[in-house]
Amino acid sequence: MPVSLQNHGDIAVITVDNPPVNALSQAVRNGLVSCTQEALADDAVTAIVLIGAGRTFIAGADIREFNLPSAQPTLNDAISTFEASSKPVVCAIHGTALGGGLETALGCHYRVAVAGAMVGLPEVKLGLLPGAGGTQRLPRLVGVEKAMKLISSGDFLAADKALDAGIIDHIVDGDLTAGAMAFARQLVADGAPLKRVRDLQAALPEGRSAADLAAAEMKAIARRTRGQPAPQKCLESVANAVTMDFDAALQREREIFEELKAGPESQGLRHAFFAERAAGKVPGVSKDTATREIKKVAIIGAGTMGGGIAMNFANVGIPVTLIETAQDALDRGLAIVTKNYTATVSKGRLSREKMDQRMAMFSGAVELSAAADADMVIEAVFENMALKKEIFSKLDAICKPGAILASNTSTLDVDEIAAVTKRPQDVIGTHFFSPANVMKLLEIVRGEKTAADVLNTTMKIAKKIAKVPVVVGVCDGFVGNRMLHAYTRQAGFLLEDGALPQDVDRVIYDFGMPMGPFTMGDMAGLDVGYRVRQERGRPAANYRYSEIADKVVEMGRHGQKTGAGWYKYVAGDRTPHPDPEIEELILASAAAAGVTRHDFSDDAILQRCMFALINEGAKILAEGKAYRASDIDVIYTNGYGFPSFRGGPMNYADQVGLETVYQAVKEMFDGGDEWMDPAPLLARLATEGKTFADWDAENN
Ligand SMILES: NC(=O)c1ccc[n+]([C@@H]2O[C@H](COP(=O)([O-])OP(=O)(O)OC[C@H]3O[C@@H](n4cnc5c(N)ncnc54)[C@H](O)[C@@H]3O)[C@@H](O)[C@H]2O)c1
């Protein structure tokens, strides 16, 4: 039984035991109601304690049930059973009381918690609002202003902060059940009132109205939450706690919940949530797959990437050796690491002591032989195949047997690198994103011969260093950058065809990306892509090529770092300013290329960029370079700032409809753009009326 009742003389203890996190499934809701009724009917019982078994209190609703029609009893039914109880109900919290878990706790008359407990209403992160009284009861305990902030951000509070805010009444030292029972007995002995939160008044700061507060909060979060209805709805519902009667506001809250749940933003966020979990499952790797122990790591190259990669390991207490070619390069690399930590300390996000502990994890060397005792070596030298091969063949001779040899290459063939060693099974790609100490995404490149335990170990260590790992196959640019090239290429063509950088960037920003492709290019530096294009040479003649990007670099405009790129910049300011010189260049280049420019609607701009991304994603999927469409979504939401509320590019395609995407791609291709040859998988799914989610379900 997921919920059970034990009588300890005068106190009834109701325990929720629904591993792993005591989610509020229908069976749990049922059990909560029936156990409470049983305890109420027992004359020997004077008070009730509600507690979770295992590692946590109720950590939330059962999200899988969100896609089903709601089943009785609802959570509101269960909660009102506690609230209406004639005997005091004390909720005992350890681990986390989140979402429906905290709403359940708020329905109890009193709440106690262990010092390490956390509480929160994170529904907004799934595009929802707390739909079982959270927006009504929380403001009655903590005041309207604080409730608005907590609910619209979804932030958690630690037990001490929750105590200060009035969410919990007491912190228990020692055994929680015993502490909660003692607290309940004391209530009975004192004849304490049944504190029904619904009967309290939601407090407003002097002279402020709920509408005022909601408007001010909305203004504060508008930029971060653009395109998402949930934060605004959270504020609106909290405001109802002041202006409406409790039951009417509760009903309204439920209606808003249902509206949000049915909307595309919540669907996208829920998809993103499940996609991240699914990405952890890798074909050929199971619970029984062995892992190798990683106690010491070496990083080759302390440049832009190497230092940041090393920080990830130092942060979790794994000793890491940075290896460079010369002392000055090593010193420069270590100085950047020190500077990064110092900046975090000065922002108050890291203690000096912790920084010292982390720095103590670092050692440096100018000899590759320093990698001899490392359990994992990550190579992050220049992107040059000959150099990487040279390093890997040396590592093969130097490293101890069983060491994992990883390359941080962003484009090169990991199999070709592995082939220079006598241990290709130990070679893998770990594609970190810049800045490597900050960005969550890690593309793990599975080589043809990479052993299952090497892959498993790399996945595990990635999670340990707080990355979101996604396994991809060997191909040019792997998944993320390969798709990005298709996207930026179309953005470039749009300039020749009639748009300006600021038009494209505005549309992409409004879609929810942190910035458009031209602002992004200026930030990253335009010279990098230029050099790659020069090295690779022009594509075949039937493939379109726009010279504009090359000309921008040849004008000395390398992006923000040179004060000008696609935009111009004022010294010390990163704001891009449109530049008439660029417009002139675009017009002249279009004329020289014989292209007649025309106006583009915002929709046409969006389609051109996004559908290129999606079409390439479909090719990657069919080639088996990603295991799931949802893996591609994880890559984009975690590595490229793709808005989570759209779920990722492949989920967005499903939302738009694959038939629409396919027709638009086909039209571009038929119009003469060879780059846009429709992915056969996209064509097939569109014809069959299916989605990428269907493909995932059929193939995993
Ligand atoms: N910069 C990015 O945004 C980014 C993102 C993902 C992946 N990558 C990849 O990471 C790798 C490193 O890129 P980066 O931007 O850090 O380059 P970088 O030029 O900033 O740093 C490379 C470092 O490697 C050192 N080095 C060169 N040869 C060496 C050798 N034989 N032994 C030891 N050290 C040596 C250099 O002195 C230099 O400090 C490349 O493969 C690149 O494609 C870069």
Question: How does pLDDT run across 364-382, given as a tens digit for each residue?
Answer: 999 999 999 999 999 999 9
CA distance 144 to 259: 23
Residues 6+ apart with CB under 8 A from 323: 298, 299, 300, 301, 302, 330, 364, 365, 366, 367, 368, 370, 371
**Atom number in ligand 1 closest to CA 368:** 32
Q: Which of 65, 83, 103, 353 is catalytic?
A: 103
**Atom number in ligand 1 closest to CA 528:** 1
Domain ranges (residues) in the chain? 3-262, 297-475, 481-699
pLDDT at 64: 78
pLDDT reading at 1 higher than 90: no
Cα of 379 from ligand 1 centre, angstroms? 8
pLDDT reading at 595 higher than 80: yes
Q: Taking the domain 297-475, which CATH number applies?
A: 3.40.50.720
Please tell me the residue having the least CA distance from ligand 1 atom 28. Answer: 381
Cα of 303 from ligand 1 centre, angstroms? 5
Please tell me the residue having the least CA distance from ligand 1 atom 35. Answer: 301
pLDDT at 448: 97
The two tokens of residue 79 are 């909660």
Tell me how far CA of residue 94 lies from CA of 3, 30, 111, 178, in angstroms: 17, 22, 11, 13
Within 10 angstroms of residue 695's Cβ, the number of other Cβ atoms is 23
Average pLDDT score over residue span 211-237? 96
Give 3-state DSSP helix, strand, coil % of the chain, rounded to 5. 55, 10, 35
Cα of 382 from ligand 1 centre, angstroms? 4
pLDDT at 61: 86
CA distance 528 to 127: 38
Q: Which of 38, 83, 123, 554 is catalytic?
A: 123
Q: Is 38 a catalytic residue?
A: no
Range with the lowest mean pLDDT among 56-70, 409-423, 565-579, 580-594?
56-70
pLDDT at 70: 76
**Atom number in ligand 1 closest to CA 332:** 39
**Atom number in ligand 1 closest to CA 303:** 21
pLDDT reading at 132 higher than 90: yes
Please tell me the residue having the least CA distance from ligand 1 atom 33. Answer: 324
Among 299, 300, 304, which residue has the most ligand 1 atoms within 8 Å of its CB, making it the best to mutate? 304
**Atom number in ligand 1 closest to CA 333:** 39
pLDDT confidence band for 62 (50 / 70 / 90)? confident
CA distance 575 to 591: 30
pLDDT reading at 69 higher than 80: no
Percent of the chain surpassing pLDDT 90: 97
CA distance 199 to 545: 69
CA distance 193 to 206: 28
Please tell me the residue having the least CA distance from ligand 1 atom 2. Answer: 434
What pTM was estimated for this model as a whole? 0.94
Average pLDDT score over residue span 207-233? 96
CA nearest neighbour of 252 among 263, 241, 262, 261: 241
CA distance 660 to 651: 14
pLDDT reading at 33 higher than 80: yes
CA distance 432 to 441: 7
Cα of 390 from ligand 1 centre, angstroms? 14
Cα of 244 from ligand 1 centre, angstroms? 61
**Atom number in ligand 1 closest to CA 524:** 3
CA distance 261 to 267: 7
Cα of 402 from ligand 1 centre, angstroms? 24
What confidence tens digit (pLDDT) does each residue in 176-206 have?
999 999 999 999 999 999 999 999 999 999 9
Please tell me the residue having the least CA distance from ligand 1 atom 30. Answer: 325
Cα of 453 from ligand 1 centre, angstroms? 27
**Atom number in ligand 1 closest to CA 391:** 31
Among 299, 300, 305, 414, which residue has the most ligand 1 atoms within 8 Å of its CB, making it the best to mutate? 305
Percent of the chain surpassing pLDDT 70: 100
Assess if CATH 3.40.50.2300 describes domain 481-699.
no
**Atom number in ligand 1 closest to CA 383:** 41
**Atom number in ligand 1 closest to CA 302:** 39
pLDDT at 178: 97
The two tokens of residue 18 are 């629904």
pLDDT confidence band for 282 (50 / 70 / 90)? very high
125-150: buried (b, 16+ CB within 10 Å) or exposed (e) per residue? Answer: bbbbbbbbbbbbbbbbbbbbbbbbbb
Please tell me the residue having the least CA distance from ligand 1 atom 18. Answer: 303
CA distance 303 to 382: 9
Query: What is the CATH architecture of 3-262?
Result: Alpha-Beta Complex (3.90)
Cα of 201 from ligand 1 centre, angstroms? 60
Please tell me the residue having the least CA distance from ligand 1 atom 40. Answer: 383
Cα of 343 from ligand 1 centre, angstroms? 23
Among 410, 467, 484, 561, which residue has the most ligand 1 atoms within 8 Å of its CB, making it the best to mutate? 410
pLDDT at 98: 97
Cα of 4 from ligand 1 centre, angstroms? 58
Among 334, 366, 382, which residue has the most ligand 1 atoms within 8 Å of its CB, making it the best to mutate? 382
CA distance 246 to 276: 37
Cα of 301 from ligand 1 centre, angstroms? 6
Cβ < 6 Å from ligand 1: which residues?
300-306, 323-325, 329, 380-383, 387, 391, 408-410, 431-432, 434
Average pLDDT score over residue span 637-641? 97
pLDDT at 68: 78
Please tell me the residue having the least CA distance from ligand 1 atom 15. Answer: 304
Could you identify the residue written with the tokens 């001899």? 372
What's the longest Cα–Cα distance across the chain? 92
Q: Is 688 a catalytic residue?
A: no
Within 10 angstroms of residue 62's Cβ, the number of other Cβ atoms is 18
pLDDT reading at 67 higher than 80: no
CA nearest neighbour of 123 among 231, 196, 244: 231
Cα of 383 from ligand 1 centre, angstroms? 7
